[in-house]
Amino acid sequence: IFFPAGVYRVTETIIIPPYATLYGEGPDNTVIQLDDIGDSTLRPYVARTGDSLQQIGGNIGTNGATPPYSINISMMGFSATNQDTDVFLVEDADEINFEEVDFHGPLTTSDLSTSWNNTSCIRFASTPAMVCNQIKFYNCRFGGCVWGINTDESVNSVTVESSKIGRAHV
């Protein structure tokens, strides 16, 4: 899916399915921005991986669905404006490529003593049956969150190359 230059304001998390290719006209020009999280009981993300039936969480890969696989995202930005929002969740995913993608949260400083202490530009979630695998970040920028990349889950083969991690928009 091609996204022309512009800021795409959304009010719900975008679920990216297997075999998707998303690309824009540059990470400063094509931005998907989560403005308001509404009444969600789930932790909000600007975007996250999901299966072929748009299932997330413990339901990924059930009901005959294909788990998140072979996703390519390039030349785009993802931005959160709410201090309690992570930017992107890579969940139970395999072969995900990010190239020239910005992940930006609303913070201008990192303060681990506040309630913001768990915001991440990228968060990984894996189950024993589906461990995140072969995730690549090339020429990406991570900023405006306490953590650039964060997980307490098992992950395999995560590569970050020619990228920048900073407190504010880098």
pLDDT tens digit sequence for 72-108: 999 999 999 887 789 999 999 999 999 999 999 988 7
Q: At 75, which amino acid appears?
A: M
DSSP character string of 107-128:
-SS--TTSTTTT-EEEEEE--S
Beta pairing class for 86-91 and 45-49: parallel
For 11-168, strand residue ranges (E) read: 14-16, 21-23, 30-34, 45-49, 69-80, 86-91, 94-104, 120-125, 132-138, 141-143, 147-150, 155-161, 164-165
Interval 21-25 mean pLDDT: 98
Averaged confidence pLDDT in the chain: 89
pLDDT for the residue 24: 98
Percentage of the chain exceeding pLDDT 90: 69
Look up the pTM and report it: 0.91
Interval 144-149 mean pLDDT: 88
pLDDT for the residue 83: 77
Element (DSSP H or E) covering residue 6: strand 6-10
